[in-house]
């Protein structure tokens, strides 16, 4: 990792939600620097605020205090340079897969490019995730894994500076998930995207990440530890299964999650 200024810079961020039952301190004292081209995963038990942190980077939420920078500019609102892949794909059911991706392409490139170029970009994004054949299908006609691919295509088609993924494979079965992880690795290697991904899957985190950000339990969750995964790329899940670095990284994360910060069921 070079010492150039961080691409995403999260400084002393606090997040307090005011709800009807009073205020809820979700995140406390978050500091995180992400370099360009880095693959970061946020891992932690449910309710630890990892999705909140992702939404803050996306600009869907604004911090109570602290500062978030992306490419040296303050994150004040969502924008297409920080594309989000949502947990439940969030495709618009009344549009075809093509039209779903095209909506994003049109927004980002519509002012500069011709209609044919926009269509070509859309088709290219669909091909990238292996869904070129389903362009004219509606989301309800394809499987969950396919929907998530379209969601990824929509995000990638915008050529974002950062790809933010909120448990993108959480709702998929294990085999589909593994396949999509492998494809994501290939795509990211090709596009050199900066990725921040929320997950609760230890293997997914170790396989994909350059660094794993482990979060303590909420309320007032914070970053407990950051683990660098120094595995060469491209990574192969079968070969890695017995790799000592992989096994060690995996063990560190499991130890953090289950021994030191085991999820305590709320007593009250």
Partner 1 sequence: MVSAVFHSPREAALEAAAAAKAAPVVVAAKPVEPRAPRQPFDWRGLWLQIIPPVLGLALMVGIWALLTMKGGAFPTPAATFEAAVKLFADPFYSKGPNDQGIGWNILFSLQRVALGFGLAALVGIPLGFMIGRFGFLNRMLSPLISLLKPVSPLAWLPIGLLVFKSANPAAIWTIFICSIWPMVVNTAVGVQRVPQDYLNVARVLSLSEWKVMTRILFPAVLPYMLTGVRLSVGTAWLVIVAAEMLTGGVGIGFWVWDEWNNLNVQHIIIAIFVIGIVGLALEQLLMAVARRFSFDD
Q: Does residue 254 bind partner 1 (CB under 8 A)?
A: no
CB of 160 to partner 1, least distance (A): 9
Which one of 22, 72, 94, 112 is in contact with partner 1 (CB under 8 A)? 94
- 205/208 Cα distance (integer angstroms): 6
Least CB distance to partner 1 at residue 88 (A): 6
- Closest separation between CB of residue 75 and partner 1, Å? 12
Cβ neighbours of 239 (radius 10 Å): 9
Q: Give the relative orientation of helices 144-157 and 174-191 as an angle to the nearest 10 degrees.
A: 10
From the CB of 248, what's the least distance to partner 1, in Å? Answer: 37
Q: Is 247 in the site for partner 1 (CB under 8 A)?
A: no
Cis-peptide into 234, omega within 30 deg: yes
- Out of 95, 142, 231, 240, the residue judged to bind partner 1 by CB under 8 A: 95
Query: In degrees to the nearest 10, what's the CA dihedral of 47, 48, 52, 58?
Result: -130
| Min dist. Cβ of residue 60 to partner 1 (A) | 6
Q: Does 145 bind partner 1 (CB under 8 A)?
A: no
- Which of positions 63-92 make contact with partner 1 (CB under 8 A)? 77-80, 82-84, 86, 88, 90, 92
Residues 6+ apart with CB under 8 A from 53: 10, 13, 27, 30, 32, 42, 198, 215
Residue 18 CA neighbour count, 13 Å, CB half: 2
Q: 104 or 229: whose CB is closer to partner 1?
A: 104
Closer CB to partner 1, residue 24 or residue 86? Answer: 86
Using CA atoms, how far apart are residues 125 and 118, in angstroms rounded to an integer?
11
Alpha-carbon distance of 128 to 149, in angstroms, equals: 9
- Distance between CA atoms of 24 and 13, rounded to whole angstroms? 15
Taking CB under 8 A as the criterion, which residues in 21-60 touch partner 1? 58-60
Chain positions contacting partner 1, by CB under 8 A: 58-60, 77-80, 82-84, 86, 88, 90, 92-95, 103-104, 107, 138-140, 158
């Amino acid at each position: 990792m070079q010492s150039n200024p961080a691409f995403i810079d999260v400084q002393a961020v606090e997040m307090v939600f005011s709800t009807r039952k009073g205020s809820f301190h979700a995140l406390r004292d978050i500091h995180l620097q992400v370099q360009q081209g880095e693959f970061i995963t946020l891992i932690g038990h449910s309710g630890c605020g990892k999705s909140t942190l992702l939404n803050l980077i996306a600009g869907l939420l604004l911090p109570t205090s602290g500062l978030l920078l992306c490419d040296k500019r303050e994150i004040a609102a969502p924008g297409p340079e920080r594309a989000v892949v949502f947990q439940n794909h969030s495709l618009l059911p009344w549009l075809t897969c093509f039209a779903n991706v095209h909506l994003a392409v049109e927004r980002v490139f519509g002012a500069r490019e011709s209609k044919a170029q926009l269509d070509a970009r859309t088709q290219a994004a669909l091909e990238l995730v292996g869904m070129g054949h389903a362009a004219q299908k509606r989301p309800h006609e394809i499987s969950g894994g396919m929907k998530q691919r379209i969601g990824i295509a929509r995000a990638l088609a915008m050529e974002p500076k950062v790809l933010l993924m909120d448990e993108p494979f959480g709702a998929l079965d294990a085999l589909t998930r593994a396949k999509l992880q492998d494809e994501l690795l290939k795509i990211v290697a090709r596009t050199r995207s900066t990725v921040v991904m929320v997950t609760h899957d230890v293997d997914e985190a170790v396989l994909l990440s350059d660094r794993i950000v482990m979060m303590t339990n909420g309320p007032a969750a914070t970053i407990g530890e950051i683990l660098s995964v120094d595995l060469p790329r491209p990574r192969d899940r079968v070969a890695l299964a017995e790799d000592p670095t992989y096994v060690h990284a995996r063990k560190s994360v499991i130890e953090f999650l289950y021994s030191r910060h085991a999820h305590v069921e709320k007593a009250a």
